[in-house]
Chain A
Amino acid sequence: MNAKPELKDATVAVGKALAHDSAARHVTGTALYVDDLPEPVGLVHVAPGLSPKARGRIDKLDLAAVRKAPGVIAVLTAHDIPGPNECSPSIGGDPIIADGVVEFHGQVLFAVVAETRDQARRATRLAKVDIDEEAPLVTVEQGLAAGAQVLDPYEFRRGDPAEAIGKARHTVSGAMLVGGQEHFYLEGQISMALPGEGGEMRIIASTQHPSEVQHLVARMLGRPDAMVVCECRRMGGGFGGKESQAGQWACLAALAAHVTGRPAKMRLDRDDDMIATGKRHDFLIEWRAAHDGKGVLDAVDVTFAGRCGYSADLSLGVNDRTMFHADNAYFYPQVRIHSKRVKTNTVSNTAFRGFGGPQGMVFAERLMDQIAARLGVDPLEIRKRNFYRKGRDITPYGMRVEDNILKDVVGQLARTCDYAARRAKVADFNASSRFLRKGIALNPVKFGISFTLIHLNQAGALVHVYTDGSIQVNHGGTEMGQGLYMKVAQVVAETFGVDISRVRITATATDKVPNTTPTAASSGSDLNGMAAREAAVQIRGRMAELAARLWQGDARKVRFAGGKVIVGGREIDFAEVAKKCFLERVQLSASGFYATPKITWDRANVSGRPFLYFAYGAACSEVTIDTLTGEMRIDRVDILHDVGSSLNPAIDIGQIEGGFVQGAGWLTSEELVFDGNGRLTTHAPSTYKIPTAFDVPADFKVELWQSKGNREATIYRSKAVGEPPLMLATSVHSAIFHAVASLKPGAVPQLDAPATPEAILRAIDSVR
C-alpha cells in the first residue's frame, strides 16, 4: 500500500537510536537552564505576592512594609504596566497583576524586585491585604450550579441519540469524576529579561512558545514586536505547562527590567509555581448509551463539564479535544457529545500533554468496561466489536478514519502479551484470594495529529552551511526533553548526507525564526522537521548545481552521502563543496517553511478534516489491589505503539515509556485537593505524588509497531509521539476497574480518577 517514502536518502542519521543532543551535558550538569546562565551585572530578582483569598474585591493593598524591606528596589503593581495588563493566550481575561478584584487563590497581586531572590521572597510576606471576600466557586459542580462558564458550550451531534436511547432495550448510564494534573516539570517557571538600547528587550525564558512570550511582553510594554526577542535553549520539562503559562512570569521579569532599567530574573518557588499556574482540566462526565445486547453501540449521549478555572486561557482547544477523543477508537452511530466550559474561582487550567484528549478517552474506555461488566463479557471483546472499520468509519465530527490499524495492533499485542491466558489466570487468582484482587485490561489509543486551530500548523526553519562544512540549524520548535532538537538535526544531517556531528543545534529564538507556533500537540518534529528539511534541500540543490557545473556532472544525479558529494563518479568532501560555493558566490543559507496539507476544520459547522492522520497504540496492564486498604500495584505492562517510520527509536521509546508513566500517575496517585476556600492543599511534592521508580513495574515491555511508514507524507513517514502514549495508561485504570468488578460479577464499580487508595476503597464499597 505504502510506496517507499520518496524522501528517503541513503540513511546516515534518520532512524538511528542516537542519544539526546544534550545527554552528555545533562549527566555532567553542564547543560545550561535559564537559572544556570551567568548572571549579568546588576541583575535584580523578582518574586510574586499571591492572593490569600480566592474571590473578592481588593479593598486594601498596603505595601509600605514590603517597600521598606531589606534589599527591595521596587514593588510592581498593575499601575506600573505601560500597556495592556493582559497575558492571555486567547480571548483575554488574564491580568498580569490583579487589578481591583481577585479571581483565584494564588493570583498575583504584586511583585517585589530586590537585590537577591531571598530578599524578594521575604518581602512578599510583609504585604497587608484586605479582600472583601465572596464565596468562591471551587468544584465543577459548584460552577455548574451557578451557571458559570468561561466559554459557550459546544456540541457534536449525529442522529437522535436521545430518542434511540429512550427506545433501546439495552442501555447503560453513568457518571464519573476525572481529576486534573499538575505538570510537575522539574524546572519551575523562569524568565530573565535583559533590557537593551532604545527600548529593546531580550527575554530568555523556559517556554514552549517563545513567539507568544515575545508578543505578550511587547504588548505589555506598548512596543512593537520587532523590539522584543525571546530565546529558549531548553526547558527542564514542559508537558504543556509552559505553553501559555510561561507568559506571565516573562512579563513580570520584563516589567521589572523596564521599571528598574536593570536585568531581571524571575524564578518561581515550587509551591508558588504549583499554586499560581494552570493544570490539566478536571471533568465531571455524565453519559447514557444504548447497545444491541452484544455490546455494539447504537447511540451515545455524553456531557463533559470541564473545570476551566477563572479564565478561558486555552480551554477552548482543550475542551474541543476532549470531544474529538470521546470516541477514542470506537464508532458511535448516533451520538451527542456536549461540552460545558465551567468557570470556577481556581487557577486557570491549561494545556497538558494530550490537551483534553485523555479525559475524553477515559470516558470511552469506561463505557467499554461498563458494558462489559454488565454483560459479563471480556472488555477487549466489547472494544473490538466497536472499533472503527469500513462502513463504520465516520467520527462524531465528520472526519473519515482512513488509516486505522488498531485491529492489527491490538491483535498482535494480545498475542505477544498472552492476554487471554493471563486473563484466565487473573480470574483463578481472584477466585482464591482473600484480600488481594487482580485486574487486567488491554486498551487501544487513537489520537488525532494536528492543531485543531488550523493556523498553528506551520513552522519555519533556518539552516546555514559554513565554509568548513559545519552546519547550523535553527527552527521554531523548542526543546523540553522530548528530543526534538536531535530529531531535526538528524533530518538535516540526512538531507546533506553528513554525520550528525557536523550539525550544530542552536537555541530557539524569535529573531532567527519569527512568528512561530507553540511546540505542542505532538507536532514538533512533524512541523519543524519538514521546515528544516525544506531549508536544507534548497541549499543542497544549490550545492548540487555548483558541483555539477564544476565537476561536469548532471545536477539531478548529484548525491550527498557519507560526508561526500558524489558527482559524475567522483567523491568530493562536503566541506570542499561548501567552500567552493562561497568562492563561487552561491548562497549557503536558507529558510524553510512548512504548512500541514489537507487539513480543514470549520468549527462553527462541525465539518472538515481537523487531523492529518491518527497515531495508534495499545497497552495491556495488569494490577493487584488490596481490598482492605485500596492500595494498588501495577504488576506488568506491555505496549505496542505506532510511530510510523521512527526518526529515532530511542527517543520514541523514551516518549512512550515516559508518557505512559505520566498518564498512570495522573490516573492513580496524583491528586489535586482544593479546600472549601479554593486553596490548593497539594502544592508541593510532599503532598502531590507523581510516580517514583518503584511505581513502574519491572516487567514493562515497549515495542514499536513494525510500520511501513505513515501513509501521509510526513517527515520521513514518521508519526508524532509526544502525547498519544500518555493515554495508553487508561489500561491501568481499566485494570483497576476490572479488579474491583471481580468482587461482584455484574456490578459496575463507581471508580473515579485518580484511583488513589481511598478512591479504590470507595469503588469497592460501591459494589459491596
Chain B
Amino acid sequence: MAPRTRNRLTFLRNGRRVEEAAVDPNETLLDYLRLRERANGTKEGCNEGDCGACTVALGAVRDGRLAYEPVNACIRLLGTVDGCDVITVDDLAEDGRLHPVQQAMVDFHGSQCGFCTPGIVMTLFALYHAGIRPDRQTVNDWLAGNLCRCTGYRPIAEAALAAVTGKPKDALSQRRARTVLAVAEMRDGADLFIGSARRFFAAPATTAALAALYARHPDAVLVGGATDVGLWITKQLRDLPKIIHTGRAAGFADVVETSAAVRIGGGATYAQAWDALAGIDPDVAEVLRRLGSRQVRASGTVGGNIANGSPIGDTPPMLIALGAELELLKGTARRTLALENFFLAYGRQDRGQGELVSAVTVPRLAPGQHFRAYKISKRFDQDISALLGAFRLTVERGRIREARIAFGGMAATPKRAPATETALAGLALSDPSTWAPAMEALERDYRPISDMRASAGYRMTVARNLLTKALHEIATGSDGDSRLVGRRGAWETAR
C-alpha cells in the first residue's frame, strides 16, 4: 500500500531522482537552483515571470505522454515540481558537445550579451521536444515569454527554425522510456505535506483531499502555477506560511468536452485547457495565444485567473460573454453560479472561507451565435490588457436577438454591459446607422479609470470602437479589413 501522506518532495533533476525533506512553502525553483544547487546557468532577469531569463523545462506525463514545457523558475514554487523532471541549461551539453538548439544559437549568432540566452535555449529545447516543425509565427509564440534586448530576435528565430525539426534526437529522447518510468514511479497517490500545521507546503493527491485540506486551513493560499502568487512572494515580500498546491489532485485538472459545453477543471493550466477552449471560437484561441507567454500558460490555470478576481484577467470577460457557469467546492459541498455573479467588487469575490474554484463550464456557440473577442494592449504578445472586449451576438434573420457583452479593464471587475446589450437587441446588422444608441449605452455600463496602461478616455473610445468592429465583422462576415493580428481565417486554417 502506498503511504497516505508523503513529507518529502520528489522530482527528477535531468532524469536523476531527487528527494528534499526541507522545502519552505515560499521557496522558488530559481532560488533552489541558484542558491542550493549552485547551478548558476539559469539567470534571474526580472524575478516576476515576465522576461524568461530563468526559463527551465519541466517534464510531466500528460494524457500518458511525457511532455516538456518551459516555465519561469523565478516564480514557480519549488514544491510544485513534485513528480516532474526539471531540466536546466546546465544539463544540455554532453561531453562538451552542444545540444542542437545550442549549436544553432551559436551558428546563427543568436546571443550577444548572453544573459537571456539560457532561458531562450530552454524554451527552444522545449520546442525541440514538442514534436512539431514550427513556422516563424509558431517560433514567435514560443518566444513571447523570452525578452532579448540585444539581438532583435531574427537570429534566434532562425536558429529555432533550423534546429527544431520535429524529430528530436538528443540524450533526452534516448532516455525517454526510462524517464516515463521514473515519473510513473513518483506517482505514489500520496498527499504531499511538508512542514507543520502552522507552516507547510501541501499538494493533495485527490480533489477530495484538496477540498478537505483547504476547508481545514481556509487561511492557506491556494496555488496552481503561482504565476500571480509567486509575485506576492518575490516582489511584495509577503510571507505565505500555508500553501496548498492544486496541481497534483487527480481529476482536478480534467477538461471534459461535450457537444454542448466545455468543462475546465479548477486545476487545468491554460495549456491543458487550450484545445477545448480554442475549439469554441478562433477568437478565444487568439486571446489565449496572447495571454501571458508559453511559460505562463504552462503554469497558470484558468481557475486561478478567475479566482484571483483581477479586473484585467483575460479569460473572465470571454467566459462571461460565452455564458460560463462557475462551480465552487467547499469540503464536499458544491454550488454553481453564473460567472459574472462571482465578481462582487474590486478584490472581492463570492467565494466563502475554504471554498475553491473547482470548475468552469463554458457553453459552445449555438447556431446563429457569433463570438468576437479583442485584446488591446501596448504590445501584442505577453502584455496585460488595457481592455479586453468580448461579444456574443445571437443573430436571427439579420437582426440581433440577444447580445452578451463583457469587458475587462473597464471596471473594478470583469463586467457585463447590460445597457448596451439591451440597446443592441433588435438592431439590424445591415444598417450601421442604427448602432449609435448601443455605442452610447456603453458609457452607462462603464466608468473606466486611467492608469499606466491607458487613460479612461482611450478605454471608453476603444470600447465603443471594438463594438463597432465586432458588429462590422459579424455583419460582413469578414475581418480582412479590421485586424492587424489574429485573423479568424488564419486560425481556422491552422487547425
Chain A nearest CB: distance from B454 CB in Å?
Answer: 6
A residues within 8 A CB of B376? 629, 631, 757
Chain A residue nearest to B105 in the complex (CB):
A27
Q: Assess whether A24 is in contact with B40, with CB atoms less than 8 Å apart.
A: no
Chain A residues within 8 Å of B469, by CB: 435, 628-629
Picked from A30, A269, A434, A757, the residue with its CB within 8 Å of the CB of B47 is A269
User: When chains A and B are docked, how far (Å) is the Cα of A184 from the Cα of B150?
Assistant: 10
In the complex, chain B residues whose CB is within 8 Å of the CB of A269? 47, 235
A403 to chain B, nearest CB (A): 27
A23 touches B45 (CB 8 A): no
* Contact (Cβ within 8 A) B150 A628: no
A29 in contact with B41 (CB, 8 Å): yes
Collect the chain B residues with CB atoms within 8 Å of residue A662's CB. 149, 152
What is the number of contacts between chain A and chain B, taking CB atoms within 8 Å? 261
Q: Given A651-B109, A684-B48, A689 and B379 touching (CB < 8 A)?
A: yes
**B150 A237 Cβ-Cβ under 8 A:** yes
Asked whether B153 is an interface residue with its Cβ less than 8 Å from the other chain, the reply is yes
Cβ of A687 under 8 Å from chain B: yes
Q: How many residues in B have their beta carbons less than 8 Å from beta carbons of A?
A: 83
Contact B143 A692 (CB under 8 A): yes
1/0 contact string of A20-49 vs chain B (CB within 8 Å): 101111111111110110000000000000
Q: How far is the CB of B91 from chain A (nearest CB, A)?
A: 9
Compute how far the CA of A681 lies from the CA of B150 in the bound complex, rounded to whole angstroms.
25
Interface centre among B111, B114, B235, B462, by most A CB within 10 Å? B114
A667 interface hit (Cβ, 8 Å)? no
Is B50's CB under 8 angstroms from A239's CB?
no
Please report which residues of chain A, range 672-711, place their CB below 8 angstroms from some CB of chain B when the two chains form the complex: 673, 681-682, 684-687, 689-696, 698, 700
Cα of A433 to Cα of B479 in the assembled complex, Å? 12
Q: In this complex, what residue of B is CB-closest to A183?
A: B149
Stretch from A285-293, A475-483, A569-577, A730-738 that touches the partner:
A475-483
Rounded to whole angstroms, the CA-CA distance of A756 and B458 in the bound complex is: 11
Judge whether B154 and A684 touch: CB under 8 Å: no
- The reply to whether A27 and B379 contact each other, CB–CB distance below 8 Å, is no
Whether the Cβ atoms of A694 and B112 lie closer than 8 Å is no
In the assembled complex, A609 has its CB within 8 A of some CB on chain B: no
Give Cα distance in the complex from A658 to B141, angstroms: 19
Chain B nearest Cβ from A398, distance in angstroms: 36
- Of all chain B residues, the one with the shortest Cβ separation from A30 is B41
Beyond A27-B106, A32-B40, whether A239 also contacts B379 by CB under 8 A is no
Contact of A761 (CB < 8 Å), options: B118, B146, B462: B462
Residues of A within 8 A of B153 (CB): 661, 691-693, 696
| Inter-chain contacts of B152 with A (CB < 8 A) | 654, 657-662, 691, 696, 700
In the complex, which residues of chain A have a beta carbon less than 8 angstroms from the beta carbon of B435?
Answer: none
Task: Give residues of chain B (86-109) contacting chain A, Cβ–Cβ below 8 Å.
Answer: 88-90, 92-93, 98, 102-103, 105-107, 109
Contacts of B151 in A (CB 8 A): 654, 657-658, 661
Which chain A residues in 610-634 approach chain B with CB under 8 Å? 624-626, 628-633
Within the complex, what minimum Cβ distance (angstroms) separates B288 from chain A?
A: 15
Is B438's beta carbon under 8 Å from chain A? Answer: no
Nearest CB of chain A from residue B474's CB, rounded to whole Å: 14
B465: chain A residues within 8 A (beta carbon): 628-629
Which of B46, B140, B378, B468 meets A694, CB within 8 Å? B140
Assess whether B482 is in contact with A187, with CB atoms less than 8 Å apart. no
Q: Mark B363-382, 1 if CB is under 8 A from A, else 0.
A: 00000000000101111111
A57 within 8 A of B: no
Q: Is there an interface contact between B481 and A27, defined as CB atoms closer than 8 Å?
A: no
- Given contact pairs A693-B143, A696-B154, A36 touches B40 in the complex (Cβ within 8 A): yes
Per-residue B-contact encoding for A367-407, CB less than 8 Å = 1, 0 else: 00000000000000000000000000000000000000000
Which residue of the partner chain A has the closest CB to B142?
Answer: A693
- Is there a chain A Cβ closer than 8 Å to B490's Cβ? no
Is B23 located at the chain interface by the 8 A CB criterion?
no
- Tell me if A271 and B109 are in contact (CB < 8 A): no
Residues of A within 8 A of B462 (CB): 628-630, 757, 761
* Measured CA separation A661–B153 after assembly (Å): 9
Q: Are B45 and A187 in contact (CB under 8 A)?
A: yes
Closest residue of A by beta carbon distance from B119: A186
Contact: A29 with B89, CB < 8 Å?
yes
Is A418 part of the binding interface, using a Cβ–Cβ cutoff of 8 Å?
no
Contact A687 B384 (CB under 8 A): yes
Q: Which residue of B lies closest to A25 (CB)?
A: B114
Q: Which residues of B contact A686 (CB under 8 A)?
A: 48, 50, 384
**A514 within 8 Å of B (CB atoms):** no
Give chain B residues whose Cβ lies under 8 Å from the Cβ of A17.
109
Residues of B within 8 A of A628 (CB): 462, 465-466, 468-469, 482
CA distance A160 to B34 in the complex (A): 64
- State which of B140, B378, B455 has its C-beta within 8 Å of the C-beta of A689: B378
Q: Which residues of A contact B89 (CB under 8 A)?
A: 27-29
Do the beta carbons of A19 and B106 come within 8 Å of each other?
Answer: yes
Pair A33/B452 contact, Cβ less than 8 Å: no
Give Cα distance in the complex from A269 to B231, angstroms. Answer: 13
* Nearest B residue (CB) for A661: B152
Residue A598, interface by CB 8 Å: no
- State how many angstroms separate the Cβ of B495 from the closest Cβ of chain A: 20
Q: Mark B61-95, 1 if CB is under 8 A from A, else 0.
A: 00000000000000000000000000011101100
User: What's the minimum C-beta distance from A346 to chain B, rounded to whole angstroms?
Assistant: 15
Q: List 24 A-B contacts (CB under 8 A).
A: A17-B109, A20-B114, A22-B114, A23-B114, A27-B105, A27-B106, A28-B93, A29-B118, A186-B43, A236-B43, A237-B115, A269-B235, A434-B481, A481-B113, A629-B466, A658-B112, A685-B46, A690-B147, A696-B152, A696-B153, A700-B152, A757-B378, A757-B454, A758-B458
Q: Which residues of A contact B (CB under 8 A)?
A: 17, 19-20, 22-33, 35-36, 121-122, 125, 183-188, 234-239, 269-271, 433-436, 480-483, 624-626, 628-633, 650-651, 653-654, 657-662, 669, 671, 673, 681-682, 684-687, 689-696, 698, 700, 756-758, 761
Given contacts A29-B118, A436-B483, 7 further A-B contacts (CB under 8 A): A186-B53, A483-B112, A628-B468, A654-B150, A673-B452, A700-B154, A761-B461
Chain B residues in contact with chain A, CB under 8 A? 40-48, 50-51, 53, 88-90, 92-93, 98, 102-103, 105-107, 109-118, 121, 136, 139-141, 143-144, 146-157, 235, 237, 374, 376-384, 386, 451-455, 458, 461-462, 465-466, 468-469, 472, 481-485
Q: Which 5 pairs, one residue from A and one from B, show the smallest C-beta to C-beta distance? A: A29-B41, A481-B113, A236-B115, A26-B114, A661-B152
